């Protein structure tokens, strides 16, 4: 679909941005270009819509050399999403989405239908959002519009240059999910540039790992995690991910000893400050679906816990706060302890969880029933097949 | 108190003439500034497109601005003769600098990512200019127009020196006849014109601003 043949890019100042890029990007897949900043991933992508022309070598789309195509016509057939969103602030959302169809002189009714269809697709009800201006939307909403603007003219190829990196983590995850869902329906060829390995693993069908203007490794996320080509790739993927990926093998043989509390615990248990009022504590419990809160001071020093019955018992007294109703823990574990210490206590005392603290009594996590179930499912991953 | 009464009486007797002067004044300003808006915006676009030409164009406009207004009008008179056209040409030249400079700055400040987005989705240079850059530079261009208009209203009061009309006539008659009241009757409407131009154009300028930052909520 998209083919790079011996592409080199040298700038006038002698900087060698790309060296001998040879790539075959299959149609209908998400191809993620990843690497440290300055590695040439964006530069490579911008060759596809001729924002940059190669010094040597050729780029083909569907077998056609793109230097033979008028760059303006070429770009109108390729969706483009940039990091800074790039919505035109003086145009409404509908006008922004309709920019490329208008450039292509589509029929106005067709344009409006398309705009409404796309807005609905990303859960921005057209009747509410059509006539708003980009400045009235949150960052995540703006980038949703940025993405559908790229889809508006029904291109076969969409280029996305670090589209989600400027967003907060929650919006970023949402948009990643939406993109993968969207792709199941639209089946476009997407070239996605990022420096975030988690993002790449999450969305990619094919990862192109680059460094200093060269392609280091190409493969599916699975292939790259299992067979990193060299130390650079290993380092870039990060030890943590390689370990996570090997968790299965690690837990299936206990030769290495019993897993430590650190490996089993959840690191973000639901906590609250001692000054928190009872009604808002109850609210927090409801939201997070827990039946007790771990009470910590502002340095996260462990103070105690407040079970829901204590909170409910005093709920009518508006002057009471968590500090008045909490109980102290009779037992806690250290991250280095074997997790069986926590398990034993939980089993004997029917405790729902055990707090994990370090030497200074600072809360670092909790071993919960859920975390133990998760561990068990990793230890016995093939139980279904056995049955 | 007496002068105010006299002034009211004088205005009452001569209001038709004063209205004509005001109309002439406005006409000179509007013609000069309008021409400058067209030429200045174009030159500003050239500056933004060819960054290397910008210092030259701006330097020339700066030099014109430095020439004392009376001297500039006198020089123009040599070529255009006495009257309306000389004044319009002078006001045109005086209005160029703020409009060129503000157009240039306005186009230059357009967020680079918007230009990249425009290019990337397949806009030609002119489409980008007309649909994105100029609309976004509008508040700046309006600010330049406002400065130009206020300067022009002032400069136009010396039009009678080169055979022009306008409220300057009344001021000069006042000077020649040592009549303070007539000086005021010419000067006050001229000042009011400048203030009104400033207010009206300032309001238009603010209307054209929009926020580009995501709403925080």
CA distance A118 to A130: 11
Question: Integer distance in angstroms from the first to the last C-alpha of chain B?
Answer: 59
User: Would you state the pLDDT for residue A298?
Assistant: 83
Residue A387 has pLDDT above 60, yes or no: no
Set of chain A residues whose Cβ sits within 8 Å of the Cβ of B117: 80, 82, 86-88
User: Would you state the pLDDT for residue A193?
Assistant: 93
Give the least confident one: A245-249, A352-356, B97-101.
Answer: A245-249
In a domain, B55, yes or no: yes
Q: What are the start-end ranges of the H helices in chain A? A: 41-46, 71-76, 93-97, 99-103, 108-121, 126-129, 139-151, 169-186, 197-203, 221-226, 231-237, 239-245, 247-252, 261-264, 278-288, 308-313, 322-325, 339-349, 369-379, 383-386
Q: What share of chain A is helix, strand, coil (3-state, %, to 5)?
A: 40, 25, 35
Mutate to test the interface with A, among B112, B116, B121, B127 (most CBs of A within 10 A): B121
Contacts of residues B150-153 at CB distance under 8 Å and 24 or more positions apart, as own/partner, are: B150/B194, B150/B197, B150/B198, B151/B94, B151/B95, B151/B98, B152/B28, B152/B29, B152/B32, B152/B33, B152/B91, B152/B94, B152/B95, B153/B25, B153/B29, B153/B190, B153/B193, B153/B194, B153/B197
- Containing domain of residue B48, as a range? 2-207
Q: What is the CATH number of the domain that holds B48?
A: 1.10.3720.10
In a domain, B213, yes or no: no
Touching A: B residues 86-125, CB under 8 Å = 111, 113-114, 116-124
Please tell me whether residue A271 adopts helix, strand or coil conformation: strand
Search chain A and give the residue with CA nearest B209. A90
Q: How many CB atoms lie within 10 A of CB A235?
A: 10
Search chain B and give the residue with CA nearest A52. B120
Contacts of residues B131-137 at CB distance under 8 Å and 24 or more positions apart, as own/partner, are: B131/A88, B131/A99, B132/A88, B133/B48, B133/B107, B134/B107, B135/A90, B136/A88, B136/A89, B136/A90, B136/B106, B136/B110, B137/B103, B137/B106, B137/B107, B137/B109, B137/B110
Q: Where are the domains of chain A?
A: 2-244, 261-378
Query: For residue range A16-69, what is the model confidence (pLDDT) as tens digits?
Result: 888 888 898 988 899 999 988 888 888 899 999 898 888 988 899 988 888 888
User: Would you state the pLDDT for residue A251?
Assistant: 47
% of chain A residues with pLDDT over 90: 13
User: Would you state the pLDDT for residue A381?
Assistant: 56
Chain B nearest-CA distance from A301, in A, is 32
Rg of chain A taking only CA atoms, in angstroms: 27
The CATH architecture that domain A261-378 belongs to is Roll (3.10)
User: Would you state the pLDDT for residue A242?
Assistant: 66
Q: Is the dihedral of CA A345, A347, A348, A352 positive or negative?
A: positive
Search chain A and give the residue with CA nearest B127. A103
CA distance A336 to A359: 11
Q: From the first residue on, what is the mean pLDDT of each consecutive set of 10 residues in chain B (217 residues)?
A: 78 87 92 94 93 91 90 89 89 93 93 89 91 91 93 90 87 88 88 92 82 43
* B8 membership: H or E segment, kind and range: helix B2-49
Residue A374 has pLDDT above 80, yes or no: no
* B116 membership: H or E segment, kind and range: helix B112-120
Q: What is the ipTM of this complex?
A: 0.76
CA distance B105 to B121: 25
The CATH architecture that domain A2-244 belongs to is 3-Layer(aba) Sandwich (3.40)
In a domain, B216, yes or no: no
A159 vs B111: CB contact, 8 Å cut-off? no
Query: For residue range A289-308, what is the model confidence (pLDDT) as tens digits?
Result: 888 888 888 888 888 888 88
Q: Is the dihedral of CA B32, B37, B43, B48 positive or negative?
A: positive
Mutate to test the interface with B, among A80, A104, A148, A193 (most CBs of B within 10 A): A80
Q: How many domains does chain B have?
A: 1
């Amino acid at each position: 679909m998209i083919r790079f043949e011996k592409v080199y890019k040298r700038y006038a100042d002698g900087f060698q941005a790309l060296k001998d890029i040879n790539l075959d990007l299959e149609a209908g897949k998400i191809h993620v270009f990843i690497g440290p900043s300055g590695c040439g991933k964006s530069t490579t992508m911008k060759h596809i819509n001729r924002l940059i022309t190669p010094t040597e070598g050729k780029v083909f789309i569907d077998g056609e050399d793109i230097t033979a195509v008028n760059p303006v016509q070429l770009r109108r057939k390729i969706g483009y999403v940039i990091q800074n969103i790039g919505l035109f602030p003086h145009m409404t959302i509908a006008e922004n989405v309709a920019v490329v169809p208008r450039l292509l002189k589509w029929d106005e009714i067709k344009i409006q239908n398309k705009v409404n269809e796309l807005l609905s697709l990303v859960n921005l009800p057209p009747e509410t959002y059509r006539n708003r201006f980009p400045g009235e939307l949150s960052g995540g909403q703006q980038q949703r519009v940025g993405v559908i603007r790229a889809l508006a003219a029904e291109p076969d190829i969409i280029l996305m240059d670090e589209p989600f990196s400027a967003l907060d983590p929650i919006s970023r995850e949402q948009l990643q999910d939406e993109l993968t869902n969207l792709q199941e329906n639209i089946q476009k060829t997407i070239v996605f540039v990022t420096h975030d390995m988690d993002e790449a693993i999450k969305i990619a069908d094919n990862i192109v790992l680059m460094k200093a203007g060269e392609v280091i490794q190409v493969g599916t996320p699975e292939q790259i995690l299992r067979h990193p080509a060299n130390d650079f790739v290993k380092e870039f993927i990060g030890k943590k991910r390689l370990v996570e990926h090997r968790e299965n093998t690690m837990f299936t043989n206990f030769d290495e000893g019993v897993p430590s509390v650190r490996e089993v615990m959840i690191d973000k248990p639901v906590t609250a400050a001692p000054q928190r009022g009872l009604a808002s504590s109850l609210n927090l419990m409801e939201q997070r679906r827990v039946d007790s809160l771990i009470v910590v001071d502002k340095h996260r020093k462990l103070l105690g816990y407040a079970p829901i019955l204590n909170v409910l018992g005093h709920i009518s007294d508006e002057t009471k706060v968590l500090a008045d109703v909490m109980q102290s823990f009779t037992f806690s574990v250290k991250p280095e302890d074997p997790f069986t210490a926590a398990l034993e206590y939980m089993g004997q005392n029917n405790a729902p969880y055990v707090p994990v603290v370090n030497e200074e009594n600072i809360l670092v996590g909790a071993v919960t029933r859920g975390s133990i179930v998760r561990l068990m499912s990793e230890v016995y991953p093939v139980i279904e097949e056995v049955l | 108190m007496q002068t105010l009464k006299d002034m009211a009486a004088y205005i009452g007797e001569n209001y038709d003439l004063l209205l004509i002067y005001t109309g002439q004044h406005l006409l000179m300003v509007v013609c000069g500034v309008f021409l400058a808006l067209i030429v200045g915006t174009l030159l500003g676009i050239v500056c933004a497109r060819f960054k290397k030409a910008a210092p030259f164009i701006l330097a020339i406009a700066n030099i014109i601005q430095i020439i004392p207004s009376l001297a500039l009008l006198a020089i123009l008179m040599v070529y255009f003769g006495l009257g309306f056209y000389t004044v319009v040409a002078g006001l045109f030249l005086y209005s160029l600098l703020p409009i060129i400079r503000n157009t240039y700055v306005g186009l230059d400040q357009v967020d680079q990512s918007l230009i990249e987005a425009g290019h990337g989705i397949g806009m030609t240079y002119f489409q980008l200019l007309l649909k994105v850059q100029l609309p976004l530079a509008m508040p700046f261009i309006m600010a330049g127009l406002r400065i130009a208009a206020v300067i022009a209203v002032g400069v136009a009061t010396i039009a009678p020196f080169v055979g022009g009309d306008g409220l300057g006539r009344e001021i000069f008659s006042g000077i020649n006849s040592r009549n303070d009241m007539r000086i005021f009757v010419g000067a006050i409407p001229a000042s009011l014109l400048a203030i009104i131009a400033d207010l009206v154009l300032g309001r238009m300028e603010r209307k054209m601003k929009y926020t580009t930052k995501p709403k925080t909520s």
